[in-house]
A = this chain, B = another copy of it.
Amino acid sequence: MRDEAADVEAANDEFYAAFEVADLDRMRAVWSDTDDVCCVHPGWDVLRGTSRVMRSWALIFANTPYIQFFLSDTAVAIHGDLAVVSCAENILTAPGEPKGDAKVVSTNVFRREGERWLMTLHHGSPVIRQLNEEPDDG
């Protein structure tokens, strides 16, 4: 029996690997090639459709000299042919970059098409407000 969660995590890891090496072909291969794909980069408005989404990656890759992701707090929920991954991206950028190191939280949705899990949605958002939570009362 296939370990579905491992397959989904591998697809999620490949997304970040393609981003780190700024390889547009690898990034394109991560995504489902359909009009219903949807991408929200941190602080951006929503982009829909393969053409717009891939154009945004070309722009981001051209403007990112170095980036490395350390994922944490990854949760995978699979229902039939749809998988929702929630994770935190702890980001290391080139020294001297204006944004410095940052944390982004992401929701990534994958759909099973044949044997592969392909991305249909990426939603990343900047962590601006640090939580000062009261002690857990649960």
Chain A interface, number of residues (Cβ within 8 angstroms): 45
Q: Are B45 and A131 in contact (CB under 8 A)?
A: yes
A115 touches B (CB below 8 Å): no
- Interface residue? A79 (CB, 8 A): yes
Q: Does A95 contact B (CB under 8 A)?
A: no
**Which of A45, A131, A134 is the most central at the interface, judged by chain B CB atoms within 10 Å of its CB?**
A45
Residue A65 CB within 8 A of the other chain = no
Residues in chain A within 8 A of chain B (CB atoms):
36, 38, 40, 42-49, 51-52, 55, 73, 75, 77, 79-82, 84, 86, 88, 103, 105, 107, 109, 111, 120-121, 123-131, 133-134, 136-138
